[in-house]
Amino acid sequence: LSVSCFQHIFSCFNQVSTFPLLFANKYRVLAVDGSDFRTPYNSESRYVINNSNHKKQCLVHINALVDVLNHAYLDLVFQPKTALQERKAALTMLRRYAAKQPTIVLMDRG
């Protein structure tokens, strides 16, 4: 399946919850955080790095926008570990987020 197909499925899945849990019956609570994970090695991948043992591996940095009270991922930005920009990823996800109610966003961007 193509990336756009996965993005469409992800978007449709997030639209199912029409009445999300809110903090104080008013605020949606979101969090932005990043994490690294390894993928199977592929020499053609843009995620190839040399680890501390000088062994090549594929390491992806994922930035996630999470609805804390509803336990749901709302958006994701994948970046190469060697070129991660967490602040830029956070701004990208927040620009794409269509707020329908007041929102509290927690993050630790650098």
Digit-coded pLDDT (tens) for 65-84:
999 998 888 999 988 888 88
In a domain, 24, yes or no: yes
Q: How many domains does the chain have?
A: 1
In a domain, 47, yes or no: yes
pTM value? 0.80
Q: pLDDT band for position 12 (50/70/90)? A: confident
In a domain, 4, yes or no: no
CB distance 73 to 52 below 8 Å: no
Print the domain residue range for 80. 20-107
- Say whether pLDDT at 19 is over 70: no
CB distance 69 to 23 below 8 Å: yes
H or E segment to which residue 35 belongs: strand 28-39
In a domain, 9, yes or no: no
- pLDDT at 26 (0 to 100): 94
Please tell me whether residue 36 adopts helix, strand or coil conformation: strand
Neighbours of 28 (CB within 10 A): 21
- pLDDT at 20 (0 to 100): 77
